Amino acid sequence: MYRKQDLKYLQDIFDRSTNDIALLYGTKDVGMSQLVSDLIKDKECLYYKATAVTDQIQKQLFASQLYDQTRSHILPDEDYGKLISTYINVHNEKKKLVVIDDFTYLIKENPTFINFLANLLFERCKPGMAMFLLVCDDIKWVEHDMVRIIGKKSSEISGVIKLNEYSPSEFYECFPNMPLSELIGIYSITGGRSLYYDEITDDTTVHDLVIKKLSEWDSSDAYPGCFLPKEIREPALYNTILMLLAQGVNKLNDIHNATGIDRAKLSVYIRTLSENDIVEKTVSANVGDPANTKKGSYRIKNRMVLFYYRFVFPHASSLRMNGAERFYKKYIENGIFDYLEESYPLFCMEQIRWLQKEGRLNFKVASIEEYFDKSGAIDFVIVAAGGSAIACSCRYSGPHMSYKTYEDVKTAVRKNKILCDNIWLFSASGFDQKLSMFGNVTPGVKLIDGKDQRLR
């Protein structure tokens, strides 16, 4: 599944009367392959998926695919520019689309390859005859290395799309009839990775999804490697780090103490995971006492990776021995609600963004930011234009939220010296009588019941 506006953007580039180079990148599990497949439908297209071989072998493979797909008269010892321009210019006058998937393998072995593309498009091909689409799932390479390698030729790229994760509201738009409780639960597992959405319907439950994934993982002996960056070295260390992060060991010093990995090397491993969109650093809202920010703390950003390393990876042997259903009851059922609890604030924050967009707030929101303090009472802070803040606390599971939650938030506001005029409390299971009565008569206190929450 992918966003239709991304396909429209690429189609608009193709429809131009010029020759263009476009770049599409992101993780594979946000619909990249499906987007490319739909783009090339009904087009004169040459598709080539590069691989990790020498430049000489790469060119031979490219020439072979060019011949197989187009029956062009080619000579394998020609340069890339001659090979491609022959295909573009010799055939009919219909515009051509040339897709080069995993193009990083071409650039790494032949940094001047981009020169061929630019020269042949703008000097050796008729205007409006071709579009090149470069596709890549190596986020780190695109954002950190590509411009350095290809230099000024990067300016020849006329359109760039990064496929980002779906937000909770976008997920809701995909499944508008799904109950909110299941919506929160399933998004907590899949996150914004839309590749998983193709196996979900409005009737899918959290249990259904988990059993399906467990069955898939049970049939794959090397599944953890699928979550790690390609060509990664020392996968055992990365698996160890991810397992510890999934268990809540999220500070560099604590990971060092648990593993004995050198701190400098540990920082490199964490940075690699961050650059590949698997791990992120936790950053607290910039309000109150900055000393309460969890400096040097990290968490797994990819929700499916987090789910796997928390529940499945430590017990992989039991999955094979017990099967999906028994494994679920033994290792997941009792802890699933605590896991889902962590994602509920994402939906609460998304609701505030929706209310702001719809003009349903009586103030202007400057930012909505997560907040970290030792007590854990505050989940996020809404900062209003002018600097005042609203402290927010969320509860997804368990009994009704009690008056004590309000007291805990009030104490955290005072201890952290937050300039806070209001407290908003979100509860998927409602509020007890004392808190409900208090919220109805107390200015600055707002109670948001889960049954009243909306994202559209």
- Assign 327 a pLDDT band (cuts: 50, 70, 90): very high
DSSP string, 362-395: SS-EEEEEE---TT----EEEEETTS-EEEEEEE
Q: For residue 278, what are the contacts with CB-CB under 8 A and spacing of at least 6? A: 227, 228, 229, 242, 300, 301, 302, 305
Mean pLDDT of the 232-254 span: 92
Q: What angle do CA 59, 64, 67 make, to 5 degrees?
A: 125
Among candidates 253, 301, 244, which has minimal Cα distance to 273? 301
30 by DSSP, 3-state: which?
A: helix
Average pLDDT of the chain to the nearest whole number = 87
Q: Is the pLDDT of residue 80 over 70?
A: no
Instruction: Tell me if 140 sits within 8 A of 105, measured CB to CB.
Output: no
Q: Is the pLDDT of residue 274 over 80?
A: yes
Q: Could you tell me the pTM of the whole model? A: 0.83
Q: Which residue has the higher pLDDT, 284 or 160?
A: 160
The ranges assigned to domains in the chain are 4-163, 205-341, 345-452
Report the C-alpha dihedral over residues 427, 194, 226, 346, rounded to 10 degrees. -20
- Which pLDDT score, from 0 to 100, does residue 355 have? 92
The residue written with tokens 């648990």 in the block is 258
Q: At the topology level of CATH, where does 345-452 sit?
A: Trna Endonuclease; Chain: A, domain 1 (3.40.1350)
pLDDT above 90 covers a percentage of the chain that reads: 52
Instruction: Tell me if 184 sits within 8 A of 191, measured CB to CB.
Output: no
- Assign 310 a pLDDT band (cuts: 50, 70, 90): very high
Q: How many CB atoms lie within 10 A of CB 39?
A: 21
Interhelix angle 433-441/403-415, rounded to 10 degrees, is 60
Mean pLDDT of the 443-450 span: 93
Report d(CA 132, CA 329) in Å as an integer. Answer: 50
- Which pLDDT score, from 0 to 100, does residue 153 have? 65
- Which pLDDT score, from 0 to 100, does residue 296 have? 62
Q: Is the pLDDT of residue 223 over 60?
A: no
Q: What is the pLDDT of residues 175-205, one digit of tens each?
A: 999 988 899 999 999 999 998 998 899 999 9
The highest-level CATH class for domain 205-341 is mainly alpha
Q: Which CATH superfamily is domain 4-163 in?
A: P-loop containing nucleotide triphosphate hydrolases (3.40.50.300)
347 by DSSP, 3-state: which?
A: helix
- Assign 117 a pLDDT band (cuts: 50, 70, 90): confident
Q: Is the pLDDT of residue 221 over 60?
A: no
- Which pLDDT score, from 0 to 100, does residue 35 have? 94
- Which pLDDT score, from 0 to 100, does residue 328 have? 96
Q: What is the pLDDT of residues 333-359, one digit of tens each?
A: 999 988 988 889 999 999 999 999 999
List the strands of the sheet with 157-163, edge to edge.
Answer: 44-49, 96-101, 130-136, 20-26, 157-163
Q: What is the pLDDT of residues 394-445, one digit of tens each?
A: 998 888 999 999 999 999 999 988 888 899 999 988 999 999 999 999 999 9
Among candidates 244, 221, 245, which has minimal Cα distance to 316? 221
Lowest mean pLDDT among 106-110, 118-122, 399-403: 118-122
Q: Is the pLDDT of residue 291 over 80?
A: no
